[in-house]
Amino acid sequence: MMMLYRFSMTSHRWRRAAAGVLLIASISGAFCIYGLQFTPSHIVSRCSRAQYRMVCYTDSINAVMRHRGLSAAFDVLAAAYAADADFAASCHGNTHDLGNAAYEQYHRTGMIELTPKASYCAYGFYHGFMEALLAQTHDLDEARAFCAFAGRQVPVPAGYAEGACYHGIGHGVTDGSVPSEWGNAEAMAAPGLALCSQVAPTDEWRRRCYSGVFNSLALLYRDPKYKLDPRHDPFGICGLQAYDTLEKEACYGEMNTLVVFMGHRNLAASLAYTRFIADAHYRSLATRSAADFYVKLSASGSAHISVADLAMCQSLGAPFEDDCIGGLTDGIWEFGQPGRQYEQALALCGSNELPWDRSQACYAHIQESASMLYGPEIIPKICALVPDPFKVPPCTPDTHV
């Protein structure tokens, strides 16, 4: 009986141990599966087969934000951009959503995780964050404090994060929410411009804030609800005598969204509107910014530049030819594949369609931008891809990278 008892107990203990092992294995497996659901590769694999792919990507990115944090959500966004050409068109909107969600987290906890990834897809994160902050608090001191915080947390490239934050302020307060102002573009922009003058402590941050106002206004032009008519001149409002230099610079730079849509996403038709800008300085700004935004819409937002696009730039003649090519490279930095923009930009500079002097200018611009946009781990990769005759700092041999 003792033997039986011992056997029974041993058997019982073995069964309990075995059950425990199975339970642990089951829990571990569940966690593995649960964890796998949030990896970029798993999400891309699942969403690429989904009937509504963009909805799947959006829902997944937002879920990763909730469960894994902002940095992990940006990793999924970058993977989706790289894997699915159609995702590029919605990427900026996704970063808006991340900004909104991040503000909710910041509002609850007083903490937010900021990295250079917040620049992905034209800094839409800051647009969404500041829109949510201002909508909920109307607190300009908090807005100003957060922009300073963003500048400290993401100091490279210098001024970009803080400037994008101020752009987000102007973007967030210009929403067409006053029906009595509809049909009057100047009146719709006025409250945002006035607020920018109050909240921004320097000329540069005022200009960036003003740019957000005119960026939103350009988008409002495209909605018939707001009864805005550019009368065949998307830059008509920019030349108002009441506007100072900073406001005019912001306007000529940010009406690019309206310009490219009025030009039916065609570079030549879009740039035709810039030819009527009498002031060469403002025409240069408008040319560069129109070429920049054109990149977002060309080839479904894949940042592909065609031979015809380069020929169009060259037809403008000096100095606007360089503005146009510079705008195309700006567009690649802004709208290209997150973390890999330099590859697309270098391909543009190396095009056989560019004459030597234009290639030289293009490569110089890429290297200058790279030193601001990328850290020391990426710059050597960029320099290795720049042909020796075109190397300038930070890619020259005597430059420490």
Task: Return the DSSP state at 117.
Answer: G
What is the reported pLDDT for 60?
94
Q: Does position 67 have pLDDT exceeding 60, yes or no? A: yes
Per-residue pLDDT reduced to its tens digit, 240-284? 989 999 999 999 999 999 999 999 999 999 999 999 999 999 999
Per-residue exposure over 98-118, b if at least 16 CB sit within 10 Å of its own CB, e if not: bbbbbbebbeeeeebebebbb
Per-residue pLDDT at 36: 53
CB 284 within 8 Å of CB 319: yes
Number of other CB atoms surrounding residue 317 within 10 Å: 8
Q: Which of 84-98, 126-140, 279-293 has the largest mean confidence?
A: 279-293
Q: Residue 304 has what pLDDT? A: 66
- Chain segment 146-173, per-residue pLDDT in tens: 999 999 998 877 788 899 999 999 998 8
355 has pLDDT over 50: yes
Which residue is it, tokens 């159609």?
A: 86
**Across 365-391, average pLDDT:** 86
Q: Cα(312)–Cα(321) distance, rounded to whole angstroms?
A: 9
pLDDT at 95 over 70: yes
Q: 361: pLDDT confidence band, cut at 50, 70 and 90? A: confident
- Integer Cα distance of 344 and 349 in angstroms: 9
DSSP track, 330-386: HHHHHHS-TT-HHHHHHHHHT-TTS-HHHHHHHHHHHHHHHHHHS-TTTHHHHHHHS
Q: What is the pLDDT of residue 57?
A: 95
Q: Which residue has the tokens 């590029």?
A: 88
User: Minimum mean pLDDT among 4-13, 16-25, 305-314: which range?
Assistant: 4-13
Quick: pLDDT tens for 173-214. Answer: 898 889 999 999 999 999 999 999 999 999 999 999 999 999
**CA 48, 53, 57 angle in degrees (round to 5)?**
90
Task: Judge whether residue 116 has pLDDT over 50.
Answer: yes
pLDDT at res. 208: 96
Which amino acid type is present at position 125? F
Unique residue bearing structure tokens 């060469």: 280
CB-based contacts of 129-132 (< 8 A; 24+ apart in sequence): 129/99, 129/100, 129/102, 129/103, 129/165, 129/168, 130/99, 130/165, 130/168, 130/169, 130/171, 130/172, 131/96, 131/99, 131/100, 131/168, 131/171, 131/172, 132/99, 132/100, 132/103, 132/104, 132/172
pTM: 0.81
The rounded percent of the chain whose pLDDT value lies above 70 is 88
* Mean pLDDT rounded to a whole number for the chain: 85
| pLDDT attached to residue 17 | 46
Pick from 334, 373, 365: which is nearest to 348 by CA? Answer: 365
When pLDDT is cut at 50, 70 and 90, the band that residue 399 belongs to is low
More confident residue, 8 or 208: 208
Q: Is 156 within 8 Å of 116 (Cβ atoms)?
A: yes
